[in-house]
Amino acid sequence: MMLWAISPPTLLQTVIALIDWFIVEEVEVNILYVHGFGSSFDPESEKVKVLSELGTVYGVNLDWSQSPSAALELISDSILENKIDLVVGTSMGGWAAAASGTENGIPFVSINPAINPSSSLLRHVGHGVDYLGRKYSLSEKTVAEYEPLRTGGCGLVLLAIDDDVIDPRETINNYSNQYDCRIFETGGHRFERLREALPLITQFYSSAEIIYGLDEV
């Protein structure tokens, strides 16, 4: 028997409680993976390989030195074209996952997300070379166009305490009341613990699918 300490459960609480009693054996989803600043979509990356165990993984190549509206438009186009069920992103990609997932009404997973790009991107302002050796030019005007991490959507946030790029404590303090935030002691900014987090992602998506009826959309 389940006891409710404060008040009778709402329908949503009941559904979530029931989900916790089940082990999801098979979930097949269309996933969009969004990379971070100065990177690109790599179908051979470890993150993509791990996510491929849940379903088909698509990707987009974004230039974060362009306007945020341009990046989000490309993501939304891919969501519609590939009938995406779940958006996953790391760092700036985590920021975009929250924005595009919320905007398109689908669940998302933000990994070590950039919660204030207008601040964190300032160190990249000017002319530079990204992690792949490509030249870029990022202006302060463009950086100022990036809004804080979007709220209001259906999201799971994965954080590594040893992230040395984005302070996970700030994310926890500002967003733990908005999203389900799961914390890992190690993993770094690149988050090398995705395989360990895969059951959390599977359960999260299954919960969203049941609660919001995503399989009927």
Enter the tokens of residue 39: 């990177």
Q: What confidence tier does 39 reach under pLDDT thresholds 50, 70, 90?
A: confident
Pairing of strands 126-129, 135-138: antiparallel
Enter the tokens of residue 65: 């030195």
Nearest to 48 by CA among 13, 93, 113: 93
12 or 44: whose pLDDT is higher? 44
Look at residue 67 and give its three-state secondary structure.
Answer: coil
Element (H, E) at 142: helix 140-144
Q: How many domains does the chain have?
A: 1
Q: pLDDT, tens digit, for every residue of 117-151?
A: 999 999 999 998 887 788 889 999 999 999 999 99
Whichever domain contains 186, its CATH number is 3.40.50.1820
Distance from C-alpha of 63 to C-alpha of 151, rounded to nearest angstrom: 23
Q: What confidence tier does 101 reach under pLDDT thresholds 50, 70, 90?
A: very high
Q: pLDDT, tens digit, for every residue of 77-99?
A: 999 999 999 999 999 999 999 99
What is the chain's percent helix, strand, coil content, to nearest 5?
Answer: 40, 20, 40
The torsion region of residue 141 among left (phi > 0), alpha (psi -120 to 50) and beta comes to alpha
Q: How far apart are the first and last CA of the chain?
A: 34
Would residue 132 count as lying in a domain? yes
**Dihedral (C-alpha) 76, 74, 51, 204: value to the nearest 10 degrees?**
-30
Would residue 217 count as lying in a domain? no
Would residue 107 count as lying in a domain? yes
Cβ(158)–Cβ(204) under 8 Å? no
In which domain, by residue range, is 196 found? 28-208
pLDDT of residue 130: 80
Q: pLDDT, tens digit, for every residue of 19-30?
A: 554 444 455 799
Rounded to the nearest integer, the mean pLDDT of the chain is 86
Would residue 18 count as lying in a domain? no
Q: pLDDT, tens digit, for every residue of 158-200?
A: 999 999 999 999 999 999 999 999 999 999 898 989 999 999 9
Would residue 10 count as lying in a domain? no
pLDDT of residue 213: 58
User: Chain-centre distance of CA 111, in angstroms?
Assistant: 5
Cβ(197)–Cβ(180) under 8 Å? no
Would residue 69 count as lying in a domain? yes
Q: Please give the model's pTM, rounded to 2 decimal places.
A: 0.83
Cβ(75)–Cβ(122) under 8 Å? no
Enter the tokens of residue 133: 């050796």
Nearest to 215 by CA among 28, 71, 15: 28
Would residue 20 count as lying in a domain? no
Enter the tokens of residue 196: 């360990």
CB neighbours of residue 133 within 10 Å: 7
Element (H, E) at 195: helix 194-212
